[in-house]
A = this chain, B = another copy of it.
Amino acid sequence: MKSYRIAVVGATGAVGQEILRTLERREFPVSRLVPLASARSAGKKVAFAGREIPVEELRDEAFAGIDYALFSAGAARSRQFADACKKAGAVMIDNSSAFRMRDDVPLVVPEINAGDLAKHRGIIAVPNCSAIILGVPLWPLHRAAHLERIVVSTYQSASGAGAQAMAELEAQTRAFAAGTPLERSVFPHQIAFNVFSHNTAIADNGYNEEENKVIEETRKIFHEPALPIVATCIRVPVLRAHSESIVIETRKPLSPEEAREILSRAPGVKLVDDAAANHFPMPIEASGQHDVLVGRIRRDLSRTDGRGLALFVAGDQLLKGAAWNAVQILEHLTS
């Protein structure tokens, strides 16, 4: 069996670590693994396939001989090293927002638009985590009944902002338990016992960066450049996995029973919709899972024409929202 030389850029970060674990779990054939990070982290070791591998400094020369480079080190690093990666002949699978909306860069969720991979010219982008978790359960409903509008409100975990943000929530929690002041440095507001509007800048249209990503990226992934979407992105004091409250309008009527039947056999989705037990998607249950959990599927009570549904979903934004989606792309490219 063929095996591949893989670089993981940002190997010590929250998503980089999940990429290493996912490559192991999937038994992806790696002939050589090169963990890359900033000079600060160089020399640290990461665990992979039973070995301890020293982290190398992220430099142009680091991509020599690499087949695929999985980037999770932020948009600035992706922009800085994209050329070096290309010159070395390595294909870039990028978790950052740097190239997502570029026409020559496929933006891919394999369950939705794996076909776009064929058009890549050296860079493939992994969408924003909230867009992926929205798209996976909505795509099969779109195919069945054609979505005409999406209204989504998110419940996003701290780890979406990285390992330090998760540590900040834990530290504030410990401070609360100890009765000491809650300190913050990562988030602009207290995250423990609070919720707040996503900590990205507000654009001229009144929407923050995260909301605009959800809207624009979903349209690109779905090949529906005018799909009407309104998004509200909110941080909640959850360590891991994002949840989303969704209301959709469809061109064709779609009953909750039909939607449930479609989702029960859709790829990447797991139905958790037990009204009798009051058991629905929750972030603590979505954590560590590849699938997006979907439930609370019900008629939109504000409509009488049967062309609306409400649902609630939860997905691990470090896995399906980032690392697992990147490794899925890698598996598609090498299969």
Contact = CB atoms under 8 A, between A and B. Distances in A.
Interface of A: 149-151, 153, 155, 169, 173-174, 176-178, 188-190, 193-197, 199, 201-202, 205-208, 215, 228-232, 234, 236-239, 243, 245, 247, 256, 275-276, 278, 280, 282-284, 295-303, 308, 310, 312
A310 B196 CA distance: 15
Q: Which 10 A-B pairs have the closest CB atoms?
A: A206-B298, A228-B302, A177-B177, A153-B245, A202-B275, A153-B153, A230-B302, A232-B245, A197-B280, A174-B177
A243 B312 contact: no
Given A153-B153, A153-B245, A201-B278, A193 B232 contact: no
Nearest to A158: B193
Contact of A149 (B153, B237, B302): B302
Given A176-B173, A177-B178, A195-B283, A278 B202 contact: yes
A282 B196 contact: yes
A237 B243 CA distance: 14
Contact of A189 (B239, B276, B282, B295): B282
Chain A: interface secondary structure?
A: mixed
Contacts of A312: 197, 232, 234
B228 A196 contact: no
Contacts of A194: 238, 282-284
A310 B230 contact: yes
A301 B202 contact: no
Contacts of A232: 153, 245, 247, 296, 310, 312
B230 A301 contact: yes
Contacts of A178: 177
Contact of A195 (B189, B197, B238): B238
B302 A151 contact: yes
A300 B189 CA distance: 26
A301 B205 contact: yes
Contacts of A299: 205-206
A237 B234 contact: no
